[in-house]
Structure 1
Amino acid sequence: MTPSHPKIEQPRLGEPYLLTPGPLTTSYAVKEAMLKDWGSWDDDFRAMTRELRSSLLDLLGDGADAFDCVPMQGSGSFSVEAMLASFIPPEGKALVLANGAYGQRSAQTLQYLGRDHIVLDKGDYLPPRGDEVARILADDPAITHVVAIHCETSSGILNPVEEISEATYAAGRKLLIDSMSAFGAIELRPSDIRYEAMVSSANKCIEGVPGFGFIVARKNELEAAKGNSHSLSLDVHAQWAHMNKTGQWRFTPPTHVVAAFIEALRAHAAEGGVAGRGARYTRNRDVMVAGMREMGFETLLDNRWLSPIIVTFFCPADEKFVFDRFYNLMKDKGFIIYPGKLTVVDSFRVGCIGQMDEDVMRNVVRAAKESLEEMGVTNAAPPLRALEERAKLAA
C-alpha cells in the first residue's frame, strides 16, 4: 500500500487534544470500531487476535521469524511486569538502567518480584551509555539481564538502546526493552538492535485505546520462560502457549479495545508503517519546539536527545507564571498538556503523538502564546538553575 499523509480529524465539540504520551487522541474510525460487541471465543474474534499478533511482528522487519507476539490484558505496566517476571528467572539478576520514573518503576517491580537487581540511576534525564553498561557487567558476573527504557517519557529522552545492546551482548548477557512509548514510531528492528524481548501498549504510537499491552519476544525465550512467573494472570509463557493452541486469550480479553487496535494497525500501515508514523511525529515535534523556543521557552534536552514522542520544557522564571493556571488556560483552548516529573526544577511536558499533525502543533504554540499573554508573562525564559542543569547533559 502506498504511504499517504493521514487525514487528521478535529476532535468532537468540547473534546480537547491530548498532548500526552498515552492515552492519546484517536481517530473516529478507531472509536467507531468499539461500537460492535464480539464473542471472545468466536472465530471472528480469534481471527482478529491472529491479525493483531502478525501485524505487530511485521513491524520488526528482518529477523521477525525468530519472534512471537503475546498480547496481555491490562495497562502497559502489566506487560512490563509480565516480561520481567517471565524472562528473568528467580535465580537471575538484572541491571536496570534508570533515568526517570519508568526505569525506577522497573526496579520497583523487580523488588516486588523478589528478583535480585541493581540500578544504574542517571537522575532525571542523563542517558545511560554503553561504556557504563560494559563496566558494570564486567564488574558483576552475576548479572544475567539488562533492562532498558527506549523512550523515558519523564523527560522525553530517547535512550541509546543500540549501544546499550552492543555492550550487553558483548558481555554475554541478555537485553529486555521497555519500548512502551516508542514502538511503532521508532524502529526497533532485531536485525539492527539485538534484544530478547520488548513490551509496548495499545494506546501509544499505534494510536489505539487503553486496555492491553503486548510482549514481543524470541520464541526460544518464550519456551524457556515456563515456570518462571510469579503470577497466574501475568504468565507470558502460559498466555503464549494457550494462544498458540486455541487461538484464544486465557482470560476475558478486552474485545472492544482489540477491535479498535486492529483499525489503528491498518491506519498505521496506510501511513507508511514505523517510518511514516515516526516522520509525522518528528514534524510535530520540530514545529512545536521551534514555536515554543521562539517565545523563550527552553527544552530540558539538547536536540541530540529529543524524542519525537514528548518534550519537556522548563517553566518560565517569571513569577507570574503558575503552571496550574497555564494548564487550565491551555485546556480551555482545547489542549491538555502534561505536568513535569523533574525533581530539580519545575517543568511541563507536551506530547507529539496521536491524531495530530504539524498544523495542530502550530495551534498549540498559538494557544501557549495567548495563555502567557493572559497571565501577564512577557518572557518564557527559564531560571538560571534550569540552564545549569541542561549544561550537565550537554557535557
Structure 2
Amino acid sequence: MLPEQTFLRIPGPTPIPPSVQRTMSQPMIGHRNQETKDLLQTIKPKLKPVFGTEQDVLILSGSGTAGLEAAVVNAVQPDEAVLVIVTGAFGDRFVKICEEYEIAVHRYDVQWGEAVSPEAIAAYLADHPDIKTVFATYCETSTGVLNPIKELAHVVHQNTDALFIVDGVSCVGGIQTEMDTWGIDILVTGSQKAMMLPAGLTFVAVSERAWRVIEENERPAFYLDLKRYRDQLANNSTPFTPAISLLFGLEQVLTMLEEEGLNQVYERHQMMKDMTRAAFRALDIPLLTSDEAASPTVTAIKPNDFKAEALRNILKSKFGLATAGGQQHLKGQIFRIGHMGYCSPADVLQTISIIETALHKIGKSIELGKGTKAAQETLLKVDV
C-alpha cells in the first residue's frame, strides 16, 4: 500500500468530503462577529429536517457524549427514577452518566446483537410507574443494532408521562429520523458519524414538552445548561466559544445533504447495508444481528472459524483499511464495518474486495470474488 493511503471504514470518525475539508480551512473569523451570526442563521433551518423537527437544534462544542450528559443533566431531577434501555456499550454509557449524577436507574438489558422489544418496554413501564424518563439508543454502534425508536416512543407516551430521550449519535443524518412526528423529546447526535465532520460538535434537539421539564429542573449546570444555548441561538449566537472551523464544515455538509436529498441519503445507506450483509452471507461468515435489527450505518460480523483481530491486523497493515473491533465482552469476537456519511456503494465494493483478499491471507478458505459478486448483484437489483 502507499504510505499515506488509508481507507477509513470504522463507525466513526468517518471520512470527510473534500469540499468540507476545503471549507474548514478558510480563514478564521471572530466568534462574536456578524459573520458568525450569519453562519448560524444559515445553519439553523438546514439542521431541522435532518432531525425531523421544527425546533431549533442546539450546537455544543464537544463530543457526542457531552450531548448525552447534557440531556441527563437538564432533563432529570435529582430525586427522579429513569429507565435506560441497554442494547450495547453505548446504552451502558447512558447508565454510567446517570449513575454519576446519583440518579435512580432502572436498567433494562437486551442481549447484545438484538433490538429491544417495544412490547417488553411497555410491560416494564406498567410495572414501574415511578419512571420519569426513558433513555434509548437509536443505533447501537457496538453491535450494529438499530432499535425501533418510533415504536418505543409510542409505547412510552401511551403508557406514561415520561420523557423519551434518544442517543442518535451513530445514525442521525444517515437514516430517517422524525423527532416531532414520532414523539422523541430529546435527540442527540455528534459530528463525526453520518454528519461527515471531524469530532468536536454535538447537536441536541429538544421538544416543547421537554423544555417545560427543563425549565423546572433545579439541578445546576453551567457549560451544559441547554437553556443558555437555546437563548443564545435565538440571537444566532452561542453562550461559549464555538468551534468555528467545524461550523464552516457543517454548513457545507448540510448543503450536500440538501443537494442529494435526504430520502436519497437514506436509500444510499440502506443499499450499503444490504450490500455488506449480502457479501458476508455469500462468504458464509456469520453476522451478529438479524436483517430486521441491522443498522444502515454499521455492520457487525462474528466469525466462527478465524480470529477477528487477525483479519483486522492484516487489513490495516497490508491494505491501510481500518475496521473496528468489538467492545467489552465482544472484544476479539467481532469486527465492525462502518458505512455511513461520505461513503458510497463503490466504497463498499472496494472494502469487500480487500476483505476477501485479507481472508485469503489469513488462511480462510473462500472463493475469491464471491462476496464482491453478491454485493454487486445487490446493487444491480435496484441500480440498473
Match in the other structure for 2:379? none
Contact 1:34 1:257 in 2 (8 A): yes
3-state SS in 2 of match to 1:350: strand
Which residue of 140, 144, 156 maps to 1:156? 144
Could you tell me how far 1:288 is from its partner in structure 2? 2.1
1:1-395 maps to which residues of 2 (within 5 A)?
A: 14-36=4-26, 37-61=28-52, 64-65=53-54, 67-172=55-160, 173-226=162-215, 227-244=217-234, 246-273=235-262, 275-317=263-305, 321-331=306-316, 332-341=318-327, 343=329, 346-378=333-365
**Deviations, residues 82-126 of structure 1 (Å, cap 9, x unaligned):** 011111222322110001001110010000112222110113222
> What is the root-mean-square deviation of aligned Cα atoms in Å?
2.0
Q: Following TM superposition, by how much is the alpha carbon of 1:354 offset from its aligned partner in structure 2, in angstroms? A: 2.8
Q: Distance in 1 between matches of 2:128 and 2:237?
A: 42
Shift of 1:147: 0.6
Asked whether the 8 Å contact 2:24–2:245 carries over to 1, the reply is yes
The Cα shift of 1:56 comes to: 1.3
Helix, strand or coil for the counterpart of 1:111? helix
Q: Is 1:124–1:343's contact at 8 Å kept on the other side of the alignment?
A: no
Deviation, structure 1 residue 223: 4.8
Q: Secondary structure at the match of 1:355?
A: coil
Q: Distance in 2 between matches of 1:80 and 1:182?
A: 15
User: Matched residue of 2:131: which SS?
Assistant: coil
Distance in structure 1 (CA, Å) of the matches to 2:309 and 2:172: 31
2:373 corresponding residue in structure 1: none
* Residue-pair matches, total: 361
Residues 232 and 239 in structure 2, CA contact (< 8 A), matched pair in contact too: yes
Given that 2:10 and 2:323 are in contact with CA atoms closer than 8 Å, whether structure 1 keeps it comes out as yes
Counterpart amino acid of residue 320 in structure 2: G
Indicate how the Cα distance of structure 1 residues 149 and 198 shifts in structure 2: closer, same or farther if over 3 A, else same. same
Query: Structure 1 CA distance, aligned partners of 2:145 and 2:159?
Result: 25
State the distance in 1 between where 2:342 and 2:49 align.
22
C-alpha deviation, 1:224, in angstroms: 3.9
Contact persistence 2:51–2:205 (CA under 8 A) = no
Please report the TM-score for the alignment, with normalisation by the length of structure 2: 0.88
Check whether the contact 1:82–1:229 (CA below 8 A) recurs between aligned residues.
no
Counterparts of 1:280 and 1:184, CA distance in 2: 12
- 1: distance between equivalents of 2:320 and 2:287? 22
Write the distance in 2 (CA, Å) between the matches of 1:302 and 1:324: 23
State whether residues 194 and 342 of structure 2, in contact with CA within 8 Å, keep that contact through their aligned partners in structure 1.
no
One-letter amino acid of the counterpart of residue 243, structure 1: L
Q: Structure 1 stretch 43-52 or stretch 110-119: which is displaced more?
A: 43-52
Q: 1:116 to 1:53 in 2, by over 3 A?
A: farther
Give the 3-state SS of the residue equivalent to 1:166 in structure 2. Answer: helix
Per-residue CA deviation, residues 336-381 of structure 1 (Å, 9 max, x unaligned), is 100022626811111111322112211111111111111222159x
Provide the rounded CA distance (Å) in 1 between the counterparts of 2:179 and 2:278.
Answer: 33
Q: Secondary structure at the match of 1:89?
A: coil
SS at match of 1:59: helix
Q: 1: distance between equivalents of 2:308 and 2:123?
A: 41
Unaligned runs of 5+ in 1: 1-11, 381-395
Q: Secondary structure at the match of 1:276?
A: helix
Q: How far did residue 197 of structure 1 move?
A: 1.1
Letter in 2 for 1:375: I
SS in 2 for 1:177: strand
SS in 1 for 2:92: helix
State the partner residue of 2:378.
Answer: none
Whole-Å separation in 1 of the counterparts to 2:219 and 2:24: 32
* CA distance in 2 between partners of 1:369 and 1:180 (Å): 30
Taking structure 1 as the reference length, the TM-score comes to 0.86
Assess, with a 3 A threshold, how the Cα gap between structure 1 residues 13 and 264 changes in structure 2: closer, same or farther.
farther
Relative to structure 1, the CA distance from residue 239 to residue 228 in structure 2 (aligned partners, 3 Å threshold; closer, same or farther) is farther
Q: Confirm or deny: 8 A CA contact 1:93 1:116 kept in the other structure.
A: yes
Residue identity over aligned pairs, in percent, reads: 20
Residue identity opposite 1:338 in structure 2? A
